[in-house]
């Protein structure tokens, strides 16, 4: 019973290790409140103040319903090449309800080709400054204060810092302004091996030119064709390996020429989706299977040992009636005069048959 309890305890502890453990290497991009900094990167009570310098600026003029970029700059600390940096774009510092969506701002593109307010980037021992941008769309003219928060490791210690806030107030869209349609949502992913046809929906645009580039690559231009009222299409080259392309549109019309923020589209292998509930269910099923197997083998070997022992004991105990099946029956229960038991074992039968 003690052995069974011990085995079950070990399996349960192993099963729950990944559920309750922290993730010092990060958890991947996502939409998180700032309070995730404790759960994702270590106990928040152990966080040390990061020595980095954080800066957050707005690129261009924000208009209601039109995309605008917020660019963050991180500098002033040297990371190891194996480190990851976690960056949050926030609209509050209370630790909850502080994502852009909570203030009616929609993230439509991030640096990794997603739509998340939290992103992770690889650090480098050769770089002491990092630039990260988010492209967002405001839905009203309300004043919003944005913050940049960073979480990273170093010397087995979690670090945290948050920038001072910047106030962003979107403006109403001017008349005749060449612009993207309010319901335009950029494509953020594509498959490997195929030419990608991109659709750009616009308003009051007479001419549109596309500028695109691979990350840290040379700038290229693509021709956009008007295929319907306000709808333009252009092609991106085939992606032969996982990569990210960023692009922007230069829009001309009766109003002042407008340039959109950079949008990112990622080409990558299909992501393997794992159902954690199913995974843990399977893990516990295997635990039960192995516990049953161990107990079965234990019982079988214990029973076999017991049978052998009883057999040996049985052979060692003399017969109650003094009988030994390895020799003929003794006449009147006694050895003949002058005989030994060893002699009787071999020649007793001849004696009984009168041959001796």
Tell me the per-residue pLDDT of 152-179, one tens digit each, with 9 for 90 and over: 877 677 888 999 999 999 999 999 999 9
Res 151: pLDDT? 87
CATH number at residue 215: 2.60.40.10
- pLDDT tens digits for 14-51? 454 444 334 556 678 999 988 654 445 445 556 788 88
Residue 305 lies in a domain: no
Res 327: pLDDT? 77
What does the pLDDT average to over 213-230? 86
Under the banding of pLDDT at 50, 70 and 90, the label for residue 259 is very high
pTM recorded for the entire structure: 0.63
Residue 142 lies in a domain: yes
**Looking at 146, 173, 200, which one is the last position of a domain?**
173
Phi, psi (degrees; rounded to nearest 5) at 20: -95, -10
How far apart CA 196 and CA 210 sit, in angstroms, is 14
Res 122: pLDDT? 85
CB atoms within 10 A of CB 138: 23
Q: pLDDT at residue 140 above 50?
A: yes
How far apart CA 347 and CA 335 sit, in angstroms, is 12
Residue with tokens 């010092």: 24
**Looking at 127, 148, 173, which one is the last position of a domain?**
173
Under the banding of pLDDT at 50, 70 and 90, the label for residue 329 is confident
Q: Which residue has the higher pLDDT, 10 or 139?
A: 139
Q: Are residues 96 and 186 in the same domain?
A: no
Report CA torsion sign: 97, 103, 109, 115.
positive
| Structural domain that includes position 326 | 321-356
Q: Are residues 121 and 155 in the same domain?
A: yes
Lowest mean pLDDT among 83-92, 158-167, 180-189, 337-346: 337-346
What does the pLDDT average to over 57-68? 93
Residue 207 lies in a domain: yes
Res 36: pLDDT? 56
- What is the domain count for the chain? 3
Q: Are residues 88 and 70 in the same domain?
A: yes
Under the banding of pLDDT at 50, 70 and 90, the label for residue 308 is very low
- pLDDT tens digits for 108-128? 999 888 899 999 988 877 788
């Amino acid at each position: 019973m003690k052995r069974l309890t011990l085995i079950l305890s070990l399996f349960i502890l192993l099963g729950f290790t990944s559920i309750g453990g922290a993730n010092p290497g990060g958890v991947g991009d996502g939409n998180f409140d700032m309070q995730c900094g404790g759960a994702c990167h270590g106990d928040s009570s152990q966080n040390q103040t990061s020595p980095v310098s954080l800066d957050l600026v707005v690129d261009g003029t924000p208009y209601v319903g039109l995309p605008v970029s917020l660019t963050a700059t991180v500098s002033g600390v040297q990371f190891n090449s194996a480190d990851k940096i976690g960056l949050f774009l926030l609209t509050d510092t209370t630790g909850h309800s502080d994502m852009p969506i909570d203030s009616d701002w929609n993230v439509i593109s991030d640096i990794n080709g997603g739509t998340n307010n939290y992103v992770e980037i690889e650090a480098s021992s050769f770089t002491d400054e990092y630039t990260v941008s988010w492209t967002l769309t405001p839905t009203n003219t309300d004043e919003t204060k944005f913050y940049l928060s960073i979480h990273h490791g170093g010397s087995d210690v979690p670090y945290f810092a948050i920038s001072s806030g910047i106030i962003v107030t979107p403006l109403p869209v001017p008349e005749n302004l060449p612009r993207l349609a309010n319901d335009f949502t950029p494509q953020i992913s594509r498959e490997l091996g195929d030419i990608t046809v991109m659709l750009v929906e616009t308003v009051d645009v007479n001419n549109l030119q596309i500028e695109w580039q691979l990350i840290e690559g040379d700038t290229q231009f693509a021709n956009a064709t008007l295929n319907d009222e306000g709808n333009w299409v252009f092609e991106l080259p085939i992606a032969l390996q996982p990569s990210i392309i960023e692009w922007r549109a230069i829009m001309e019309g009766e109003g002042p020429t407008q340039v959109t923020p950079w949008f990112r589209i990622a080409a990558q292998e299909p992501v393997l989706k794992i159902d954690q509930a199913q995974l843990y269910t399977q893990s516990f099923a295997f635990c039960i299977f192995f516990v049953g197997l161990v107990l079965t083998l234990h019982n079988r070997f214990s029973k076999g040992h017991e049978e052998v022992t009883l057999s040996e004991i049985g052979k060692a105990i003399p017969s109650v009636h003094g009988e030994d099946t390895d020799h003929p029956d003794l006449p009147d229960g006694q050895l003949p005069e002058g005989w030994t038991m060893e002699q009787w074992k071999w020649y007793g039968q001849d004696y009984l048959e009168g041959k001796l």
